[in-house]
């Protein structure tokens, strides 16, 4: 996902503008169907808005590309738990113990990279990102 799209996506997520989020992520996925950021933003947005079928669909799609993605496994476990499917929720929650450690979301890493290009007199401290 390109930097400008990520910035627009951040604003849309902040406003919980599902239509805009879907539009930006669909565009990114049309370029690269393995775009984990787009898949996970969609999964998380759907989960937060109680659209469980869409959330689990996108999270499972992300797991096809990265079977140990911590955030995707967390969303799958959470959706199953909220739907009362406790065996499936437990099975996925258990996977979190062996999944790779959670990493910073790519947007945060991209923000750090972008900020590093600013002149030092206006640079934001690294702990402020």
d(CA 128, CA 114): 14
Q: Looking at residue 115, what is its pLDDT?
A: 45
31-87 pLDDT, tens digit each: 999 999 899 999 999 999 999 999 999 999 999 998 988 899 999 999 999 999 999
| Domain architecture of the chain: domains with CATH | 3-101 (1.25.40.10)
Average pLDDT, the chain: 80
For residue 80, with 0-12 CB atoms within 10 Å meaning exposed, 13-18 middle and 19 or more buried, which class applies?
Answer: buried
State the average pLDDT over residues 100-107: 59
């Amino acid at each position: 996902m390109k930097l400008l799209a990520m910035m627009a996506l951040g604003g849309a997520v902040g406003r919980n503008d599902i239509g805009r989020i879907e539009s930006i992520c669909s565009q990114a996925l049309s370029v690269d169907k393995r775009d984990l950021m787009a898949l996970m933003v969609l999964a998380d947005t759907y989960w937060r808005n109680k659209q469980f079928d869409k959330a689990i669909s996108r999270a499972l799609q992300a797991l096809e590309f990265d079977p140990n993605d911590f955030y995707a496994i967390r969303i799958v476990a959470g959706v199953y738990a909220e739907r009362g499917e406790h065996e499936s929720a437990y099975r996925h929650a258990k996977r979190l113990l062996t999944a790779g450690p959670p990493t910073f979301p790519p947007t945060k890493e991209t923000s750090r990279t972008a900020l590093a290009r600013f002149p030092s007199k206006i640079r934001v401290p690294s702990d402020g990102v």
